[in-house]
Amino acid sequence: MKNQKIVVIGGSAAGPKAAARARRLNQNAEVTIFQKGPDLSMASCGYPYYVGGFFDDRNKLLCTPTGVVRSPEFYWNAKGIKAKINSEVTKIDRTKKRVYYINHITNEEGSESYDKLIITTGATPNIPPIPGTNLKGITTLQSMQDADYLRAIRDKGKIKKAVVIGGGLIGIETLEALHLAGIELTMVELLPQLLTFLDWEMAKIVENYLKTKANVITKNGVAEFLGEEGKLTGVKLQNGTVIPCELAVVAIGVKPNTKLAQQAGIDTGAKEGILVNSYMQTNDRDIYAAGDCCEIKNLITGENVLAPYGDLANLEGRVAGENVINENKATFPGTIQTGICKLFDYSVGITGLSQGKAKESGFDYETIVNASSDKPKFMNGEILITKMVADKKSGRVLGAQCMGTGDVSKQLAIWATAIKAKQTVEDLVNADLPYAPPFSLAIDHSIACTHIIQNKIKGLYKGISAAAVKEKIDKNKNLFLLDTRGADEYEQTRLGIGETLIPIGMLKKKADNLPLNKETEIITYCQISLRGYEAAVMLQNMGYKNVKVMEGGIVAWPFEKEK
C-alpha cells in the first residue's frame, strides 16, 4: 500500500480508534493524532466511577485491557502512531490539505499536511447563560481534569453540600458518585422529569427511587450562582429558592464541537453536528468525521440525531479509519440510540423509541408495561420493569425502556439486537434464549413482554397504564379497582385509591362483592399484575364486559402510595 499521510484531530475515543484501524490496515501509512489536552484515549464514561471511589488508580481510565497507559510513547512504540498531546489544531486548510496547530505547553506553532483527515473533536458541555458561572466550585464532568477535581473533593471530604444541575445520564451518575462521598445532594432539573429519553411514568419511578438518596427538584431551573470572595455559596432557582452549597456540577447536556470544521467549510446540520454519509465522510471527499461532533441517522425514524455515546464513537471511528485506507468499503448505518446508566442498586436504560418519540414520529403503536423478576425468587431474582413499544400493524418492535434492580443490561441487549434486525413481536414470542435458574426465568422477562403485547394486539388482553388509571380516578370516573393480592401483602403496601381487596383465590367465592352491573369498568392488579391478569380472565368468564389489567401492578405505580 502507498505511504499515505493520515491526520486525526482529537484523541479521546473516536480519534484513537480511527488511527489504530488505519494503521492496522496500512503499515506504511504515516498516522498522526493531535490532542488538545494532556491525555489520550480516556475512558470518559468511567469518570463518575473514579470520582465515586469504585477504583482509585487514575491511570485505569487511560489503560489498555492489559494495563498499559496509552501515552504518546505507547502509541509510537506499540502502533507506530505519532500522538501530539497538548496540541490544538487551530485551522484546516482544505486547499493546501494542511492543518495548523499550537502546543499549549511550549507555545510552539506548526503545521502538518495530510492526504486524508479525520475530525473527532467531540462535544462541549452546555453552560447556562446566568450570573456567577465563573465562581470557584462550579464544574462539569466532561474531562479528566474535571474528574480529578471532583475526586480530590471526595478524598478531602470537606465539602458537605452540593447541587447537581441536570437530570440526564451524566447528572444521575455524578449524583451517585458524590453521594458515596457523603455529600448532601440536591438535583435540579428544569423539565418536568428526569431522564427525558424515558416516558414520564417510567422516569417518575426512577425519581421516586432517587428521592430516597437525595433531594430532587423538577420543573425549576437555576437563575443564578451565588458566591462570596469568588467562591460558590449557593444556587438560586428560578422560583427564588436558594440552596446553600459549596459545589455545583453542571450536567445539562453537550453540544457538538464543530467550530474548527465550520471554519473550514465542512457542512453541519440542523442539530449543529458535522454531516457525514454512511462512510463517515463529510462534504469534502478527503475529510471524515466521527464521534460526538457528528450527526448520524436514527435507523427507526430516518432523522439525523446527536448520539454522544462512547461505544458509538468507537464504532464510527473504526469505520472512518478503515475508509481512509480502503476507499469507502466500510459503513456505519446509524443508531437506535441505546443507553444505560447505573443509579445505586438501580439500572435504567432505553433502546429504540419511547412512546412519546413513536407518537411524534407518526407511528401507529401499541405499548405494554411488564414487571417481573430477572430470574426465579429462589435464585434471588430481582425486579425488572419494562415498557415496550411496537408498531400495531406490522408488529415491529420500536423500542423498550427497562429499569430495576435486576439485570437490565441483558434485557436491553436483547431488545437492541431485535430492533436493529427489525424483528417483530411474532419473531420474539418463541425466542430461543439461554435458560437456567441462575440466569433467567423459564420464560425470560423479554419474552414475557412479547407475550403480553401479542395478546394485546390480538385483542386477547386489555391493559391500562398506571397513568391512565390515575387520570380516571382524578376525573371521578365510575371504576371498580380490584386488588387481587393477599391480605398480608395489602397490609404491607397499598395504593389507597379506593380499591377493593379480593385475593385471587377468593374471587369466585366473593362474587357478591363485585359490581352487579356487568358493564362496570373493572381494573385489576396485584404486585406485578400477573394475578391481576388471571383475575381479568376469570371476570370476563363471569360475564363482565369492561375489564382491564393495570400494567406493571404496584411495582410500576409511579404515584404516591397510602403505605
Shared-domain flag, residues 533 and 469: yes
> Can you read off the three cell numbers belonging to residue 529?
399484575
Q: How many domains are contained in the chain?
A: 4
Is residue 157 in some structural domain?
yes
315: Cβ–Cβ under 8 A, 6 or more apart, which residues?
332
First to last CA, the chain: 72
The pLDDT tens digits of the residues spanning 337-386 come to 999 999 999 999 999 999 999 999 999 999 999 999 999 999 999 999 99
Shared-domain flag, residues 434 and 490: no
Q: Where are the beta strands (DSSP E) in 21-179?
A: 30-34, 81-84, 87-93, 98-103, 109-113, 116-119, 123-125, 138-139, 161-165
CATH code of the domain containing 509: 3.40.250.10
Is residue 415 in some structural domain?
yes
Provide the CB-side half-sphere exposure for 288 (13 A, CA).
34
Which of these, 84, 75, 79, 78, lies nearest to 25 by C-alpha position?
79
Does residue 199 sit in helix, strand or coil?
coil
Percent of the chain with pLDDT over 90: 98
Helix (H) or strand (E) holding 416: helix 408-420
Shared-domain flag, residues 119 and 259: yes
Which of these, 35, 239, 26, lies nearest to 116 by C-alpha position?
26
Q: Are 440 and 382 in contact (CB under 8 A)?
A: no
Place of cell 490496515: 25
110 strand-pairing partners: 101
Shared-domain flag, residues 401 and 511: no
pLDDT at residue number 548: 97
Provide the residue type at 256 as one letter. Answer: P
In this prediction, residues 403-427 reach a mean pLDDT of 98
Does residue 420 sit in helix, strand or coil?
helix
Does residue 468 sit in helix, strand or coil?
helix
Helix (H) or strand (E) holding 485: none
480 strand-pairing partners: 522
pLDDT at residue number 3: 84
> What DSSP string describes 273-293?
SEE--TTSB-SSTTEEE-STT
Q: pLDDT tier at 1 (50, 70, 90 boundaries)?
A: low
Provide the residue type at 298 as one letter. Answer: N
Is residue 479 in some structural domain?
yes
φ, ψ dihedrals at 438, nearest 5°: -65, -15
Is residue 469 in some structural domain?
yes
Place of cell 499521510: 5
The structure's pTM equals 0.94
Length of the chain: 563
Provide the CB-side half-sphere exposure for 445 (13 A, CA).
36
φ, ψ dihedrals at 419, nearest 5°: -65, -45
410: Cβ–Cβ under 8 A, 6 or more apart, which residues?
374
Boundaries of domain holding 479: 463-556
Does residue 306 sit in helix, strand or coil?
coil
Provide the CB-side half-sphere exposure for 105 (13 A, CA).
8
In this prediction, residues 387-411 reach a mean pLDDT of 97
> Can you read off the three cell numbers belonging to residue 244?
446553600
Is residue 184 in some structural domain?
yes
> What DSSP string describes 41-67?
S--GGGHHHHHTTS---GGGGTB-TTS
Is residue 561 in some structural domain?
no
Shared-domain flag, residues 14 and 117: yes
Is residue 337 in some structural domain?
no
User: What single DSSP character describes residue 107?
Assistant: -
CA dist 194 and 183 (Å) reads 21
Place of cell 439486537: 417
Q: Are strands 109-113 and 242-244 parallel, antiparallel or unpaired?
A: unpaired
CATH code of the domain containing 391: 3.50.50.60
The pLDDT tens digits of the residues spanning 31-65 come to 999 999 999 999 999 999 999 999 999 999 999 99
CA dist 15 and 22 (Å) reads 11
Percent of the chain with pLDDT over 70: 100
Place of cell 414520564: 200
Q: Are 99 and 92 in contact (CB under 8 A)?
A: yes
> Can you read off the three cell numbers belonging to residue 98?
494542511
**Residue 207 clears pLDDT 80, i.e. is over it:** yes
Decide which of 399, 423, 457 is a domain's last residue. Answer: 457
The pLDDT tens digits of the residues spanning 153-162 come to 999 999 999 9
Shared-domain flag, residues 108 and 154: no
Q: Are 227 and 233 in contact (CB under 8 A)?
A: yes
CA dist 326 and 534 (Å) reads 59
Phi-psi region of 386 (alpha: psi -120 to 50; beta: other; left: phi over 0): beta
283 strand-pairing partners: none
**Residue 6 clears pLDDT 70, i.e. is over it:** yes
The pLDDT tens digits of the residues spanning 358-367 come to 999 999 999 9
CA dist 460 and 462 (Å) reads 7
Shared-domain flag, residues 359 and 318: no
- Order of strands, edge to edge, in the sheet holding 231-237? 222-228, 231-237, 242-244
Decide which of 299, 326, 353 is a domain's last residue. Answer: 326
Does residue 250 sit in helix, strand or coil?
strand
Shared-domain flag, residues 309 and 379: no
Provide the CB-side half-sphere exposure for 269 (13 A, CA).
18
Is residue 331 in some structural domain?
no
Place of cell 451517585: 176
The pLDDT tens digits of the residues spanning 16-39 come to 999 999 999 999 999 999 999 999
Shared-domain flag, residues 267 and 285: yes
In this prediction, residues 452-467 reach a mean pLDDT of 95
Decide which of 252, 272, 307 is a domain's last residue. Answer: 252
Q: Are 529 and 549 in contact (CB under 8 A)?
A: yes
Shared-domain flag, residues 28 and 110: yes
Q: Are 308 and 123 in contact (CB under 8 A)?
A: yes
Shared-domain flag, residues 17 and 87: yes
Shared-domain flag, residues 111 and 197: no
pLDDT at residue number 388: 98
